[in-house]
Structures are given as C-alpha cells and as structure tokens.
Chain A
Amino acid sequence: MNLSRLVPASGKVRAGLIIAIFFVLMAVFGPMLTSYSPQASGTDLLQPPSGAHWLGTTQTGQDVFAQFVYGARVSLGVGLFAGIISQIVSVLVGVIGGYFRGLSDDLLYILTAVFLVVPGMPLLIVLTGYLPSRGMISVAFVIAITSWAGSARVLRAQTMSLRRREFVEAARATGESRTRIVFSEIMPNALPLIASGFLFSVIGAVLAEAGLSFLGLGSLTTTSWGSMLYFAQSAQAFLYGAWWWFVPPGLAIAVLGAGLALINFGIDEYSNPRLRTGKSRGRAVRTGGPQAAALSTAGAAAVASGVDSPGLASIPSEDGVNEVAGPEPSGSAAAAAQIRPIDVPGAPIIEVRNLKVDYPSIDQVVHAVDDVSITLHRGELLGLAGESGSGKSTLTNAITRLLRNPAQVTGGSITYHRAARARPGASSGADPGAAEAIDLLGLSSEELRGYRWDEIAIVFQSAMNALNAVTSVGAQFDDVLRVHRPTMPAREREALARTMLEKVGIDSDRVSAYPHELSGGMKQRVAIAIALVLEPDVIIMDEPTTALDLLIQREVLDQVMALRDEYGFAIIFTTHDLSLLLEVSDSIAVMQRGRLVEYGPALEVYAEPRHPYTQALLASLADMGALV
C-alpha cells in the first residue's frame, strides 16, 4: 500500500471522514466547552437557544448543549463498542465458516440464519426488558449479539469466493499453513467488506441504542442522544415546539449515520469499480461532425474485476493497454503497415476510414485504435487478429457503437452501406438496388436502434454471460422480433425462433429452456441463432469460440460457415487464434497496439507475412506446434 492510495480521492468519502472526525472530536473535547453538567437542573425552563444556553434548556432547566456533547460520548461509545464486538463475531463466524466448510460451516450457517431472520429490535427490547440493571456496557453487548449476522453472511460468501481464487490454492501448493492462508491471504482481501461491515455495525448500534433509550430501555441515568429524545418525548417537547431539545440529537444520529455510509460508498467503489460515479456514456466526438449521443448503458470506467487492481484507474480489461512492457518479444511497432489489396466479389458494406479511438486516463491518452482503415465486403469473412490490448475489441465496439466510457472516437469515419431491402420500417424512397451510405458515427440513438441487429448483429465471446439467465431462450428471440418486426404475430415469432434453433442444430423444443439448462456449446449456438433471426447483413463475432472446447469449437465453426453459405452475411471474426483465422477467413487484419500492422487476403498473409509482428506470430505458432 503506498501512502497516496490512503488519501481518499472521492468527495463523498472526504465528506464522510470529515463528519466522522467531527463527531469523534466533539465526543472527546466537547464536554470541555461547557460548564454545565448534563443532569443538573437549572432555573431557566424550556428556553430556546441563547448565549447562556447554546442549545436552550429542557423542561427541568438542564442545558441541552451539555447533554448533547456528553450524550455524544455515550452514543459513540456504545456504537464503537457494539460495532467492534459485532464485527469480531461476524469475522470469526463468516471467515471460519467460509474457509473451513464442512459441518462447522453448516452449523454456523444455520446459526447465522437464525440471528438474521429473527428481528433484531424486538429481540433487543425483550432482552433489555429482562435485564435487571441496564448499564450502557450491557446494552452495547446486547446490541452486538443481535446485530452480527448480516455482516457474517456477507463475509462468508466473500470468503467462499476468495477461497476458490487461484492465489489461495497457489499458497496452499507452496506449503502455507491454513491459519496463515486465512490471515494473510484471505483476510486482507476481505478487508473492504470487514471495514464496511464495521461501519454499518456502528451505525446500527448507534441507532439501536437511540431506539432503546428512546423507549426508556437504556440506562436512564446516563445521558445519551437516545435518552435525550426519551425525555423530550415524555415531556411532549414537540407539542410545545421545543425543537432545540429534540432536533439536535436526532439530526446528529442521522448526520453521523450518513457520514459513515458515505465512507462506505468509497469502500464499495474501491472493491467494485463499476460503482464509481462518472459519465456513463461512451462518446463519439468527431472533429467537425455533430456530437453523436451514443446509447450506452453501463460503461464502467474500469471494468477491472474487484480486487484485481484495486484503486487503479485502468482501462477495460479486455484491452489491457496498461500492461507493462515485459521481456516478452513484442514485435516491432515501428515497421510500416503492410497492406495488400483485397479482391473479393461483394460490394463494400462497412468502410472504416482512419478511425481513432482514445482512452484518456489521468496522465496520458492511450490510442486504443490508431488510424485504422478496413473495408468489409458483402459476404466476406474478415478475420481480425491481435493479442489482448491490440485494440481489436475497441475497433468492433466502435463499429457497433458499443464503446464504453472513457473511450472516445477522436477521428475518422465509419460508413455503412445499407442495401435497399424491402422491410417494414426501413426508409422508403431509396433507389432500389443502390446502397444507401450511412454515417454510423453520426446516427442518433433512435436511428441507431433501428439499424442495430437488423443490419449488424453480434455474437459475444461468452454466451454464458451474453444470454439473460432469468428469461427463456424463446423470450430472447421474441423481444428482438417484437421490436424490429412489430407487425409479426406472436405465433409467427415463435415459429421463427423454433426454425432458427433448428438451423443451428438445436431441438426446437428448447425454445422454452432457460440458459442454465443448456451446455456451453449449445448456448453459443443459441447466441448465433439469435444473431441470425433478423437476417442481418453483417455479424460481428467477438471470439465466438474461445471459451469452447476444441471439438465443440469445430462443430460451431462448421455451423457458422454453413449458415454463411446459406444466408450470405458478412462476418468480422475477432480472435487471438491466428491459426483459426488463417483457416476460415477471406481476409485478415492483424492489429498490434491499436495499429493495423498487416491487412490482406488470408492466404497471402499466411504464405508471405510481411510485417515483422505477423512473422513473429506465425513463427511462434509454428514453434508451438500449431502449424505442423
């Protein structure tokens, strides 16, 4: 941990810390600011705030400010004490249960469930109701007993997931003891959760103490924010409008609670980078052109998963441009791009010209796609090769307008040549036979919607994640058809979905199946069938077979080729597996560090690679025994 990481960058966390520190200081030093004793009655009864009594007086003439600052000590003290005890119990129960599993875990799990479901406040009331003498310590203790379960359950889940992480298994394989694995491998990674659990325990305990004292179940001889409210309530202060009596303690509880929750925001954002606030839309800003408002959903600034790179403002992991250059051979980026003319029968359908996409980060701008021009022709299979960080996904995302923040198109154009097809909703009046040139980057989000899937469909890398787990396969065909073919009756939509499933070799009855009922290969076929349902002219396949086994990859690939013969769509096929591309594609574009280094007919590239990087790639494939 270096020191600069400890200074919170987020304004929310700073505000939260200031609030928390303010209240702690008040609890420690506040009583020194007042000469009144919190319990001592005075002669000024129920007076509004004045110079003598900063926060006025109670019905019996006690000084509210004195009560408030002394009460802060008790309320915070109870909160901290209960928070610490409750968190210790949760860590023990959660981490031990989650790591060791087995019978002890089963028992701890049931115990947690009991304390989780049995409502805390009533239990608290009953327990304190039986307490013969109620000191603040015993109240804090009872609060801790009733509040550990939620945090324990979260920690257990986290420990179970950390336990499956490879670094834990690697530490075991190295010979680390189990205790050491729990304390120095797992616990540090669970620290954000423990910290957040602690904050919530403190908030919960402060609230619980206030609630109990308010009911007269706390220690009434001790002044706390809750007991202030109890006396205010029993004196019916609000009927007299004595706001100075009951507003400060309640407000303090709420502000303190909010402060701790704000700190927790920071912890959440640290462990889940997707939560960081910021612009959610990837922008397509082009010089001279109108700013296109991209329709974009999430757009996490950093998608780097959880604890992998905490606190780093990193670039989306697929394009891990921030990899440090290592001793690995990387080819020469300086060599000129080797571009050979492509001679395929179809007319151009997508033309990318001098496209530039940047990822601005704090201290530098990464050119994820740098001056790339490619042309996809009708019916062509264009293979896009490159390793992680080469910019190939950024390129296809630019074409599909799915770029995520902070990616920005800073130059170039993408033109789509839409064939004049008779289809409902398509723009009429186009010259039949002639293609209509559409500036993809200039489309408004509404225009873009009409063109998505109808013209360009996508098959994502992992169908496991690309299919919606909670709706049936049929529903995922159906929504596309409902939107893009509004006049098609329901019966026809279902029939079409069934037909498409059969086309990819899946029993049409599986239309009612849910994704989890299908194998990995079947899910990928379903994804392909969904992509085909509107008979698009272009399908972008982003590593469609990478997650599949060799034999299934072959089957899926054969299927894709057969469907291409049948429907005649063009494909942009992205993969890092050059040998696969060499086998299936008409033309190949090789990318390295955002640049196009070699582009030409597949067989020519294979037979005679001209760029040093392509040569290195092919050579290492040969060394690895892939091209024998």
Chain B
Amino acid sequence: MSTDVMDPHEPEQGRVVLEARNLVKDFRTNKRAGVFGREYFRAVDDVSLELRAGQVTALVGQSGSGKSTVGRLLAQLMPLTSGELLLNGDPVSATRGRAFIRYTGTVQMTLQDPFSSLNPLHRVSYTLGRALRIHGGPMSADEVEEWSLALLRKVELAPAERYLHRFPHELSGGERQRISFARALAAEPKVLLADEPVSMLDVTIRKGMLDLLDQLRRTEELAVLYITHDLGSARAYSAQTLVMYHGKVVERGSSEQVIDAPSHEYTRRLLAAAPNPRRRLAG
C-alpha cells in the first residue's frame, strides 16, 4: 500500500446519504410466456446497501452479476421493480422530469468506457458547461468558463486551459475519465456512483484514477459507490465491500474482512481464480 493514500479503512462512520432497501429489478426478455406475457429476468434481487458521506463502498461482481444495474437504479436511470431508495432518509422516486434533475444534483454517476461516455462531437467546454448550467442555474459565459477551469483543476488536469477546448478524441483514456469525473462534480453531488472507472484504462494509470477518487471522497465528503470486478482494488480503496452474484449480494462487510477472510464460497472462488504469481512461487 503506498503511503500517499490515506487509509480508507478509517473506523469512523459517515452519515448515510443514500440508502437502498430491497431493490429488485426485472428485465423483460424476448421469450414469451403464455399468449401475451413475457418471461422476466431478475437482474437485481433484493439488494440493500448504504452509502455514507466520505466513504467508498465497493460493489464487486463479474459481468452479468447485476452490479451495474444496481448503479443505474441508484442513479434512477431506470425505474425499480420494487424496493425503496432513501436520500438523506427521505424516500425518493424520480426517474423523470424535474424531480429527476433535482435528484441528479445530489447523485451523479460516471460510466465505464471513457471512449464512449463523452459525445465525440462536443468539446470539453460544452460537456462541462452543460452540466454546470443544468445544476448551477443561469450563468454568464465567463462564469461557466471559470467554473469549468476550476472543475478541471479539481480532477488534476493541468494546465486546465489546455483541456477546455479539446475534443474527446484528442484526449487519452485517462484524461477522458477525468473529464467524466469533472462533469459529475459540476453538480456538486453528495453521492458519486462510479461504474468500473478504471477497467478500461491502462494499469499504470489506474492507480492515479483511484487515488483521485479517494481524494475526492475526502475533500468533497462524497459518498462513493465503486463498482468493479476487481477484488484487489476494492480492498485497497474501499471501506466496505459487497460481493454480487446472479443479482444477489452474497457477501458484505468491511473490505479487509471480505477479502482476507471470505465467508461465501463464491468470493473464495473469485479470489482463488485471480492471477497471482505468488501461487507459483509457493509451488
């Protein structure tokens, strides 16, 4: 563990900002059931979790486990089949309209693929400017530029001026992912849902990205949901870890406990399958 990262496993518990109770999400499949009905596929099955201010919670699972769907449900990008979301203790349901925009002022989400999560036809200034205008009310062009530069600095893109008028294709994967973070921060959210923020990035820049996430959680008091398939980084960067399998949370607890002493068979199998040269040294 490198020394510049503050230990994420701080014992103190932040306030619960976003809570999910018994989330269920069914997707309609193409298979027919009966004459008019369709078969449903349960992508998320009774998932409950709490996101606390200033704390990273990791949601670990393989593809198809439902972890990204949980992220989208928390972001209210799709309606729940059943279950409940509580923001600061109050139930919310806002998948569309003004209520949804207000919700996104508190809960923001970034997506996995840095190459497709920015519109290739818009400059960075447009992308950030839109986010600022949605959540900051009317602003003059100068104010937007000033705020945009501040956002770029926040995600450590320097010199910020150099990035403002670039197109996505002129940026590297890591830079694009930072722009995505900056866009999310434009809303000054309390919750950041980061869906696989580093899985599409090169190994050497993953650490920088996760360090940034860790720093943001501290300076912005963000409640972060770190969605990943990688148990190792979950242990290094999150306080709590939930392991998902087939739509269900099969194991949860402090990250150390889950990864160092897994209690569920599936977690154990995942850990055993991870490539590890030590295995070879051991015999």
Contacts and interface: CB of A to CB of B under 8 A. Distances in A.
A387 B206 CA distance: 12
Interface residues of B, number: 74
A457 interface: no
Contacts, number: 185
Nearest to A188: B121
Contacts of B62: 549-551
Contact of A175 (B1, B100, B174, B275): B100
Given A166-B113, A175-B135, A323-B173, A627 B277 contact: yes
Most chain B beta-carbon neighbours within 10 Å: one of A185, A550, A602: A550
A553 B270 CA distance: 11
Given A170-B110, A173-B108, A550-B270, A628 B169 contact: no
B112 A307 contact: no
B275 A583 contact: yes
A169 interface: yes
Nearest to A178: B96
A166 B117 contact: yes
B281 A175 contact: no
- Among B100, B118, B130, B184, max chain A CB count under 10 A is at B130
B276 A324 contact: no
B202 A387 contact: yes
B109 interface: yes
A100 interface: no
B236 A326 contact: no
Interface stretch (A26-34, A506-514, A616-624): A616-624
A173 B109 contact: yes
Given A167-B118, A173-B104, A620 B207 contact: yes
Interface stretch (B36-44, B46-54, B80-88, B227-235): B227-235
Contact of B277 (A173, A307, A576, A606): A606
A476 interface: no
A112 B173 CA distance: 40
Interface residues of A, number: 59
B172 A326 contact: yes
Contacts of A340: none
Interface in B243-279: 259, 269-270, 272-279
A625 B202 contact: no
B173 A166 contact: no
B29 interface: no
A522 to B, nearest CB: 15
Interface stretch (A89-97, A113-121, A308-316, A351-359): A308-316
A171 B233 CA distance: 27
B75 A173 contact: yes
Interface string B202-235: 1111111010000000000000000001111111
B207 A624 contact: yes
B208 A173 contact: no
B67 interface: no
Contacts of B75: 173
Contacts of A169: 77, 111, 117
Contacts of A582: 275, 277, 280
Interface string A231-243: 0000000000000
A326 B171 contact: yes
Interface string B178-222: 001001101100000000000000111111101000000000000
B158 interface: yes
Interface in A148-174: 165-167, 169-174
A329 B208 contact: yes
Nearest to A616: B204
Contacts of A184: 122
A106 interface: no
Contact of A170 (B105, B118, B203, B235): B118
7 contacts: A166-B113, A171-B130, A310-B120, A329-B208, A549-B229, A623-B207, A627-B278
Given A166-B113, A175-B101, 5 more contacts: A170-B109, A175-B105, A175-B135, A387-B203, A620-B203
Closest 8 CB pairs of A and B: A625-B232, A582-B277, A175-B104, A554-B273, A580-B275, A328-B205, A387-B202, A625-B236
Interface of A: 165-167, 169-177, 184-185, 188-189, 307-310, 312, 323-331, 387-388, 549-551, 553-554, 576-580, 582-584, 602-603, 606, 616-617, 619-621, 623-628
Interface of B: 1-2, 5, 62-64, 75, 77, 100-101, 104-105, 108-113, 115-122, 130-131, 134-135, 156-158, 169-175, 180, 183-184, 186-187, 202-208, 210, 229-236, 259, 269-270, 272-281
